Structure 1
């Protein structure tokens, strides 16, 4: 009958194992327990190779007996050897039992076919274990970031039956949602009535953009920062009041206040020196920015 051996550990390919160091112990015919002589040989080998790592165990039989009998015999031989060595030498943990049937090349001497062969690598090669065995290391797959779809507009029905429509800047909302911690983003076209913290009607869409981003990114925390133009001193603390107004709008629309902070800087951090040269510079200094606290 055809011989059978069992590969007890998960290796990339049989050919790759053949390139490793190996040591064999031999069995009497139809026996799966080693003789005292072979147990001694195994012990001596382990003592001389205490720092190696076993990467595979193969069990072999001769050609006598049925395939089923030989397969069971080979497995029992592997189990017997494994139990002798498992607590005394390094062994790969990812072992499995496999039958390879005809892969065993028979020796003309029957006694040489009744064996268990240990395949191992030297201690100096253990750091290269997977490379030597032909096992490709797969880089961990990064967690896929959820693709968030932002609306291009919002439509609200007013108490008098009319509707209000706000066009939203999708690119800006995506930018906020993807910004790194510590990054600051200016909210363009967010304007207030002169000397007040009341947002002009045409700028209300900008607050809804911020609201939508926070709704769709529940881990996002921000600081709302207010800045003024023109005057060296913020006597009315207007920059803080404007930042607070946006903060209150977000809370009123369901955003947890723990995700929000606000702060006014007056004109202490201008983009252009004060006094500004023109309206373009004044508009740049008169701004609200969002700083990403966590995401």
Structure 2
């Protein structure tokens, strides 16, 4: 794995501008590295003189190099021009202490700049999904010109909208005419609840599952026909076929054993559920 590169330029004693040979090296380096990016410029001095004098001289050397490269090579806006005077660890060869070291990243590695510099970037917090506004009632125009108003269960619609794949939800208070797949008029609001959620959530796909009570088998395939009736309603109102599947389980998956003991158990077994396939 590549890291930042570096090059050093050396100064004469007590000088903060480069001698001719080092200036030539600097110009040659700039000419050969037009597309690198400088990330830091560090200055150093030898041990001669006071700490204050050396620190000032080190900073002047940094400033000199910066002025030479600033219009030639890209530099990080937050680069740190640090100077190390007498307090840095000295090399035995004093000439090696009188230097400025330029740290840079090659063009091929610029995409990894933050990683190379060890800078951890905080991931932006995910924006919460805007809360959908579901209506509390809906007015439907009937074929005979009259209007029907259906109250809607907003809490149920929000549950469907937020449900995860694999989750099952029961369509409570969804009733059919006896021994048919015709939905009673009072229950039509449940169909519109499901329709509105699917209209507002185009990612939602469901499987409609019908169940029966009270009998030993589903001879007329009634549970399937009831699930299909709900699917047909959704599709007739613009929901794509691929988003709605349906099946009937008859009496094969009762909540309570058949025969049921009372109406409460029969009502629990006689149900329609939706299973979330995608959301």
| TM-score, length basis structure 1 | 0.65
Q: Is the 8 A contact 1:57 1:78 kept in 2?
A: no
- Give the equivalent residue in structure 1 for 2:18: 31
Q: Is the 8 A contact 1:182 1:291 kept in 2?
A: yes
Q: Is the 8 A contact 1:77 1:116 kept in 2?
A: no
1-structure distance, mates of 2:19, 2:173: 84
TM-superposed CA distance for 1:31, in Å, is 2.7
* Counterpart among 115, 135, 139 of residue 100 in structure 2: 115
Matches within 5 A, 1:22-171: 25-28=9-12, 30-31=17-18, 35=22, 56-60=39-43, 71=63, 73-74=65-66, 76=68, 96-97=76-77, 104=83, 114-116=99-101, 135=119, 137-171=121-155
TM-superposed CA distance for 1:143, in Å, is 4.8
SS in structure 1 at match of 2:180:
coil
* Counterpart among 238, 241, 247 of residue 257 in structure 1: 241
- Give the equivalent residue in structure 1 for 2:272: 288
Q: 1:214 to 1:27 in 2, by over 3 A?
A: same
Q: 1:292 to 1:100 in 2, by over 3 A?
A: closer
TM-superposed CA distance for 1:145, in Å, is 2.1
Q: 1:33 to 1:213 in 2, by over 3 A?
A: farther
* Unmatched 5+ stretches in structure 1: 1-8, 10-21, 40-54, 83-93, 120-128
TM-superposed CA distance for 1:115, in Å, is 1.7
- Give the equivalent residue in structure 1 for 2:110: none
Aligned-residue Cα RMSD (Å) equals 4.1
- Give the equivalent residue in structure 2 for 1:176: 160
SS in structure 1 at match of 2:208:
strand
Q: 1:138 to 1:197 in 2, by over 3 A?
A: same
Equivalent pairs counted in the alignment come to 232
* Counterpart among 222, 227, 238 of residue 238 in structure 1: 222
- Give the equivalent residue in structure 2 for 1:207: 191
Q: Is the 8 A contact 1:173 1:213 kept in 2?
A: yes
TM-superposed CA distance for 1:116, in Å, is 2.0
Q: Which moved more, 1:136-145 or 1:194-203?
A: 136-145
SS in structure 2 at match of 1:261:
strand
2-structure distance, mates of 1:207, 1:76: 74
SS in structure 2 at match of 1:212:
helix
2-structure distance, mates of 1:152, 1:219: 23
SS in structure 1 at match of 2:214:
coil
1-structure distance, mates of 2:140, 2:238: 16
Matches within 5 A, 1:270-289: 270-289=254-273
Q: Is the 8 A contact 1:181 1:294 kept in 2?
A: yes
1:185 aligns with 2:165: no
2-structure distance, mates of 1:174, 1:276: 32
Q: Is the 8 A contact 1:243 1:262 kept in 2?
A: yes
* Unmatched 5+ stretches in structure 2: 27-37, 45-53, 88-93, 105-113
TM-superposed CA distance for 1:73, in Å, is 3.2
TM-superposed CA distance for 1:163, in Å, is 1.8
